[in-house]
Structure 1
Amino acid sequence: MSTADPTERTEREGVLAEAQEGIGGALKLGERVNDLSLSTPMNSIQDVTPSQTPRVLRDPAYIRKREEALRATGETLHQRCTVKMERLHQLRLDLAKKQPAPTKSADTIEEKQLAILKLEEARLQYEYQKLQSNREIYPEVLPEVTKLRVRQMAQDSIRDFGIMIPHLKKELTDTQAELASEKRLLKELQEIKRALQARRDDLARLIETGSSQESNQGRQKLLEARRQVQGLMKELTTFLTRHCPPIQPDDDDPREFELKTILEDIMNLSVSQPSDPYLVLVPGECYPPHVEQLINAGVAVRHPRDSQRLRLVDFFS
């Protein structure tokens, strides 16, 4: 570890000493000003009798001049401290540039940390002493006064509890009566629930038994009706194929018209759309003689207000 130039070291130590001396002087001056402002306020200066205080000290101009001088002195010391600290910082930077990066030993770091902790301790001690000096001293409370306060608090609590007890008893009685009423209502509701549950079970068994029987009968009837319809449709198709073969009205037009096509359409609409079973007769897609033949035979009927709509006659009406 290389050492610095003795001249620079002396200069740096002198600057550090001057900076510390300036800081100490500023702190002492600030303490003196604070002590002076705390110990001798303006009211106390006015309360001093003329025989005890010279006329110059009682002059407001003199007091103002003295305060300005103290303020100017403090500012001067502050500026000097700032200049010295800047100079010290510059010397440290120059020294750091001239010397290689030193390997800091553990002892040097511990010493610096110890110095920092000592400065922090001194600052905290100073603040603690200042707080102790400015703290207001309150008179101690006598034990007799404490006992009287505790007794008074106990008596107030007993009085409040005595006022609340009748109200709490009344509220407890009302709550118990309401609870008994709710229990009776709950018992009645449980009985009604059991009766309704039993009735629902009986109805479910009856419905299951009746529905099974009805479903079997209905299924058989439906199958029989389907067989009959299939047989009738087969016979109708055979009859129409034999007696009403397809017709080609125009030799130039290859289209053929069948009577069974119109009959099947109106029969399907009567089943699928019972509310509106009318078939729309589009011109050119049906043979008019077939429509007239169905109407004359009493099988179909036109719409009362639209002749181009046709439906099956209600045979079971």
Structure 2
Amino acid sequence: MWFEEHIKSLISQAADDFDDTVAADTVLQEPGDGGARDQMLDQVLAAQKAQREQLWQKLHELEDTYKHAVQPSLCGEDQTPEKKLLSQYMYEERELSSELEKQMNDVNVISRPSDQTIVELQFKESLFRSTDQLHQALAFIEAELKESVETLQRETAVLKECKEIRSVLTDKLDRVRNGGQHIAAPDSQMEKIPAIRQKHNATMGDLIDFLDMYYPPHPCESPEPADEDMDGARDPNANFCELKFILEDLMNQVVMNPSNPYITLEPGTYWPPYIETLVKAGIALRHPEDSSKIRLADFRL
């Protein structure tokens, strides 16, 4: 501040000196003596020039003094780290204050909607949410309805077939009761029975021959070690396991007791590799809860 006041005073002094020099009543020679008049003007101009140069020199000196006085504070050459940090914090504080003031001004000019507008927006949001939920529920209900219609059609077809079968069986039962006659099979079917029996016997014979050739009797695996002779031969009286007898038991159990077609494998009455062969080939199935029971697989189409 002192520098600006000093410059103003110098400029004011220079202006006053110029006014005094112009307004001074200088005694000049007659117009006829032109040399003295020109010499006087030259002296005035030289004095004014010297005065201007002196003022400009003072002005430059003051400017240099001001630069040397202000530069260390701006560049921070003579400042300690604490002062530099303080200056940085002060600068940040000014910036934050200005930003805060700007934000507060922006907040104050925000146009707030009326209460009725807020209520309408909330109602629209609720309406859209309810509409989405209803669309989802509608899609779920349509899928269930389609599935229910398909199930109803299947059940209706089954019910129709059952009614037809019941009607046919009822008519046959009434005829048997009223006429006292047994229902005889058609002659064409009776003629096929001997051929079917012959084919069945031939198939069973081929099966037995196949089993005797490729799956001969094998000593059963007993829980206790088998007795052996001195030369390592097994006891001839030991039990033998035949695969054909196991298949026979499985088939008889299926025919005689369809509700419980499983047979129990007693330890010492079978050879495990034969059982595993039947299971892996898909001919026999193990009980889901008891591994010591097996049954014949259902080959009916």
Q: Which protein has the bigger helix share?
A: 1
TM over 0.5: no
Structure 1 length-normalised TM: 0.32
Structure 2 length-normalised TM: 0.34
